[in-house]
Amino acid sequence: MICRYCELIHSIDKRYPLRKATRDLKSNYPRCEWHWRFVCSTCGKPRHFNGIAWCEKTKKFTCIVCGEDHRAVHRTFWNWKYYYAIRCKVCGKRHPALDRLEFLGKHPWQLHSEMRKKHAGLSGEVNLPESSTIFLPFKEGAVSEGQIAKAWDKTADFWNRGCTEFGDVNRQFVIDPAVFRMLGSVQGLRILDAGCGNGYLSRLLAKRGAKVSATDVSKRFIEIAKEKEREKPLGIDYHARSVCDLKIFVDGTFDAIVSNLVLMDLKNLDKALSEFHRVLKPKGKLVFSIMHPCFASPSVRGWVREPRDSDRKEDRLFWKVDRYFDRTVEVWRVSDLPPLYSFHRPLSDYVKALLNNCFVITDFGEPTPTKTAMREHYREFANEYDRIPWFLVIGARAS
């Protein structure tokens, strides 16, 4: 059996050798050692050869995740139109990924024969690992609210470090433009940021003239938000409590409520919407975003890729969806931190919960980035966000 990548390159350059495949032999992309996975010197995790770079100065591998500020460099070579340039944290420079380095004759195995003989840097895996995300049937008692709060407490600092004053790129360029459009002018309005995280959206609303109160189930997130409030006071009052229990606010307190990527992480959606309706003024606005329950949430989902560990966007053939009507608890991880929890419900559950709690749906959006954002943030958006809506934003009015 011949390596699929060797065959691909050979079809373009007949001088390229055809090597025997020794890895992932039962897949559609059996691969040789040159085109397998290499281990990052920083995180110790294996990565597809097109998503990991070599620094000749430090003699270290850096993966596309640890390199953080990687770029897609558009330059045709062999069958590809671009390569990833990955920043080395030690020397500070961006280095081409191994596919480009091999084309240039600068792959570490080409530069150092002893590395090639020892297969230095190569992952010891023979087949690709299965996904570590776990889905459990949604039943009472499976996950407590206390577990959810503690999980976010342990993740808060990690999440905060990855944010700018505008949150992350998804919030800044995809979700929040739709949220602000649905809210309209907030000048002088009393607004609740329900599930505020580190408070970035509360601060943006306050700068637009709103009088903001904010809550989050994570005490650590609230500590971070209060620290930022002390540094630059905006008159925001933060409270560590669940959005399902807003008894610190009297009926009819707020002109509007915004809840950004929160409701899919709640066990009791109905209780949250009941509280939202209670603390809103008559005809007050509710604007919330969630991961799209039709695509980003079902228990069987994901890109079908060939090969399935490739970091190249064009290797994603289509997005599969199954078991959509199963109500499940998703147990997932960020980096090496403790697990976090989300709850998958069909879209109809959200609509029925709104109607049952006397809300009238006034707006509905499946936001995508602008063409400018797609171009400037290629590594996050390209070849994904123009194919599938990852997020859903809904506007409603209290009747």
pLDDT of residue 70: 85
Produce one character per residue of 44-56: b if its CB has 16 or more CB atoms within 10 Å, e if not.
eebbbbbbbbbbe
Return phi, psi of residue 393, to 5°: -120, 125
Give the C-alpha separation, 237 to 193, whole Å. 10
Domains present along the chain, CATH in parentheses: 4-118 (no CATH), 134-398 (3.40.50.150)
Distances (CA, A) of 291 to 167, 272, 295, 342: 16, 17, 8, 10
Cβ(233)–Cβ(196) under 8 Å? no
DSSP 319-345: EEEE-TT--EEEEE-STTSPPEEEEE-
- The structure's pTM equals 0.82
pLDDT of residue 111: 97
C-alpha dihedral (42, 47, 48, 53), degrees to nearest 10: 0
Residue with tokens 């938000």: 225
Q: Per residue of the chain (399 residues), give pLDDT as tens.
A: 999 999 999 999 999 999 999 999 998 899 999 999 999 999 999 999 999 999 999 999 999 988 877 888 999 999 999 999 999 988 999 999 999 999 999 999 999 999 999 999 999 999 988 766 677 777 765 788 889 999 999 999 999 988 999 999 999 999 999 999 999 999 999 999 999 999 999 999 999 999 999 999 999 999 999 999 999 999 999 999 999 999 999 999 999 999 999 999 999 999 999 999 999 999 999 999 999 999 998 988 888 888 989 988 889 999 999 999 999 998 887 767 888 999 999 999 999 999 999 999 999 999 999 988 888 887 677 778 889 999 999 999 999
User: For the segment 171-184, what is each residue's pLDDT rounded down to a tens digit?
Assistant: 999 999 999 999 99
Residue 216: predicted pLDDT: 97
Q: Are 352 and 340 in contact (CB under 8 A)?
A: no
